[in-house]
């Protein structure tokens, strides 16, 4: 695996790390970090673990940092711009988000044209603001989608989104874990990574 710094074009200052497999690939997953006001960044252990899993299986991973805090609105646009950047360079593009990033990924996927080819959500926030309702936006996401959550997670407010996913017949995976999946990063990365690789490979 090789990693390089990338600047995502757009009105906001968005920096990213592109993890690439040793062989050429035409598939990539864009990874949205957790809440930046609470230290969320592209170096989050869950994002790094997913990048490692993907590159070992021939899929690249673009882990990005949001621009300046913008209540979720600018962050959604950062994710959309990252997917657009990826679309110009890869044939198949997946989207992943953890916690706040899960809400961002859902809202971005629902409003992109074309939409991502696959979506993975880990402990996703169901709502970012009154207007940014990820649980409601889930119905507009056409791509294959998996949601993973921890049964002891009392941080993310994942319940409405997970309930909506179940009602829509999406793939939902339950872990005996808290919000941070401590000690289970690789296991979680393998679960969501396998779903994404199968649909992007």
Strands (E), 33-115: 60-64, 92-98
Average pLDDT by stretches of 10, the chain with 201 residues: 98 98 98 98 98 98 98 98 98 98 98 98 98 98 98 97 98 97 97 98 84
Question: Would strands 14-20 and 2-8 be described as parallel, antiparallel, or unpaired?
Answer: antiparallel
pTM: 0.98
Q: For tokens 């979506």, what's the residue?
A: 119
**Fold type of domain 2-200:** Rossmann fold (3.40.50)
């Amino acid at each position: 695996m090789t990693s390089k710094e990338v600047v995502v074009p757009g009105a906001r200052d968005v920096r990213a790390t592109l993890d690439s497999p040793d062989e050429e690939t035409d598939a990539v997953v864009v990874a949205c970090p957790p809440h930046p006001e609470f230290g969320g960044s592209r170096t989050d252990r869950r994002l790094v673990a997913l990048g490692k899993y993907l590159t070992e299986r021939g899929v690249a991973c673009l882990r990005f940092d949001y621009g300046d805090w913008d209540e979720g609105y600018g962050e959604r646009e950062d994710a959309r711009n990252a997917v657009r950047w990826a679309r110009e360079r890869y044939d198949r593009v997946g989207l992943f988000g953890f916690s706040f990033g899960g809400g961002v990924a859902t809202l971005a996927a629902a409003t992109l044209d074309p939409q991502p080819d696959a979506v993975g959500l880990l402990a996703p926030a169901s709502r970012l603001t009154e207007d940014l309702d990820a649980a409601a936006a889930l119905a507009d996401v056409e791509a294959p989608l998996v949601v993973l959550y921890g049964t002891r997670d009392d941080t993310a407010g994942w319940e409405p989104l997970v309930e909506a996913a179940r009602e829509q017949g999406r793939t939902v995976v339950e872990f005996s874990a808290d919000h941070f999946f401590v000690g289970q990063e690789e296991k979680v990365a393998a679960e969501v990574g396998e779903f994404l690789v199968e649909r992007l490979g």
